[in-house]
A and B are shown apart, each in its own frame.
Chain A
Amino acid sequence: MASFPKILTANWEIPGSHTLAAVQPHGAYSRLKAVFAMTPTQVTDLVKASGLRGRGGAGFPTGMKWSFVPPPEKRGGKPVYLLCNADESEPGTFKDRYLMWMDPHLLIEGMIIASYALGTRKAYIYLRGEFKFVQKRLDAAIAEAYAAGFLGENIQGSGFSLDLYSHLGAGAYICGEETALISSIEGDKGQPKLKPPFPAVEGAWKSPTIVNNVETLAAVPWIIQNGPDAYKAIGVGKSVGTKLISASGHIKRPGVYEIALGYPFKDFIQNECGGLLRGEGFDRLKAIIPGGSSVPIMTKEEVLRSSFDYEQLSTPMDKGGPGTYLGSGGFIVMDDTTDLVVALTNLLRFYAHESCGQCTPCREGCGWMYQILERTSRGESTVEDLATLKELADNIYGKTICFFGPSAAMPVQSFLLKFKGEFLERIGALQAGAV
């Protein structure tokens, strides 16, 4: 990999990196001075110019999202809320957990800067319920930041005040969807809401609200310090900056890696991941899921010609691309020992379990898809069942309030499209000559 500055993991090797004493000599909170010398709009413009995109999965330009918040004179006196999405629950994704564990002050500083840009007075970090052990460490860091005058009233004499709180979820994947996260923090069941209105205009407590992922916010201090051009210089095309990749599955060194966008998959697997768990080179590679369980699966051939590049990955198959997404960067590697029929069944059990139950196509459809797949795993389906499975996925996609429906449909559609033979073989259709 061409050399690039570590933006998100720079402090991770420092002993005690979760404490202020350890990271302050390495620049923690040193960017606030420059921020308070700018106007909030200038800060937003700077983030916009950097090309930073949301790292939770959607890849939406961060600065643009911030600019959707109405200006103070058009808010009718309403506050603006910043919610950090730390509900990291997408199967295959575990980067935010380590970011908060290893360098919580980087996130806090990013949130102070974002809050200043947005005019936020109260910000929250929404952690998934299972991250109670992370919350303890994060709360300790927040307390340190208050004690040092980086949070609370009149931060560093700037006249800007901010309160920051952690908020613990309780085991619902759907709360990672931004409108569900808002419902949840408001004290309701975590069910998504129809857009519009978009949260930036009317979100939590009917006020303008920005929901940003942990990794997105943690990139902001570096951008302030080094400027948007330096950030844009890393990466390729519209995929700029660095990204945390959560690598798991059949590789020798699973873990979290910070890479420069544009990095080829094959180099990542060989150099960072230590190669595949079994075999020589890529001879045992069967498939990967590049961006968390919801994104379409990739064949070995697609893997070997792809890279961590939003645009290249989302190029449709009929235009020569792999037709998938970078998503959250949850990179799940599967070798030829993997039974893909059972793997897909495993994923649909997850979606059937996690559907919030609000929209009929998703609530019923995910359960039906799981039932058909369970039968298929046992070899008890027919060719017609597989057609029904595809029809279900096609009829969930785009017909639900939130993106959970498509997220459950895409694995089904892509496994059936790219690995159809395995499914037909399982049910004996190939042998019987039924297709």
Chain B
Amino acid sequence: MSGKTRPVQSTGPKSWSPAQEAEIVEIVARYPTRKAAIMPVLWLAQEHFGWIDLEVMRLVGRTLDLPPSHVHSVASFYTMFKKQPTGKYLIQVCHTLSCWLVGAEQIVKHLEQTLQVDGEGNSADGLFTLMRVECLASCGSAPMAQINDDFYERLTPDLMDQIVAALRAGKPAPQPYVSEWVHPARPV
């Protein structure tokens, strides 16, 4: 509930592509009510439009026969629905207890410096948005960050530099450890 809230902007009328309309029909069929499709449809909208502005909320409302106010209440309840645009890469560093115990603050400070982020968390080049977030269920591979849809784990400032450099160069970033459920031996 907490965090910065500011009015959601509007960026002009929105519509679905025919392919998306077909996907929405398929999504709606999974649930007993049209309303229940709101979260998957908001995800689809975010994937397509980048973020959820007022026009997107109106579109989702029309699509599912819901008042725009209901779409607004749901979209604003869930933190992962973006109510404002972000850089191409959204870097969300976990700073909850288990990550904090093993150096999350160091990762955040390192990123703040190397990306030269402003008060909103946007990097000087506009490519990255840096956010602190609460526990992402990666405590055994802490410290960690989620970048867009992927987890980057057992981070060090050096590894973070490699990841940022790869993303800047448009190359696949090193993404170790997602499948390794036990850390073999962590250095002190």
Chain A residues with CB under 8 Å of chain B are 12, 79, 88-94, 96-98, 101-102, 122, 128-133, 163, 165, 167-173, 184-190, 205, 246-250, 252-257, 274, 277-278, 289, 293, 330, 332, 334, 338, 343, 346-347, 349-350, 352-357, 363, 367
Contacts and interface: CB of A to CB of B under 8 A. Distances in A.
Interface of B: 1-3, 30-33, 35-40, 42-43, 64, 66, 73-74, 77-81, 95-98, 100-102, 134-142, 146, 149-151, 178-186, 188
A367 B3 CA distance: 11
B35 A248 contact: no
A167 B137 contact: no
Given A130-B146, A255-B140, A92 B79 contact: no
**The 3 A-B residue pairs with the shortest CB-CB distance in the complex, in nearest-first order:** A255-B182, A170-B78, A187-B35
Contacts of B142: 248, 254
26 contacts: A91-B97, A91-B134, A93-B139, A96-B137, A130-B137, A163-B30, A168-B40, A169-B39, A172-B79, A184-B39, A186-B36, A187-B74, A189-B74, A189-B77, A205-B33, A205-B36, A249-B101, A252-B185, A253-B185, A254-B182, A274-B185, A277-B188, A289-B97, A332-B97, A346-B95, A352-B2
B80 A170 contact: yes
Given A167-B40, A246-B140, A353 B3 contact: yes
B1 A254 contact: no
Contact of B182 (A89, A186, A187, A257): A257
Interface of A is mostly: mixed
B178 A363 contact: no
B43 A168 contact: yes
Contacts of A168: 39-40, 43
Given A186-B35, A188-B74, A343-B97, A171 B79 contact: yes
Given A169-B39, A274-B185, A346-B96, A92 B139 contact: yes
Contacts of A12: 181
A246 B183 CA distance: 12
Contact of A172 (B66, B77, B100): B77
Nearest to B73: A189
A356 B183 CA distance: 34
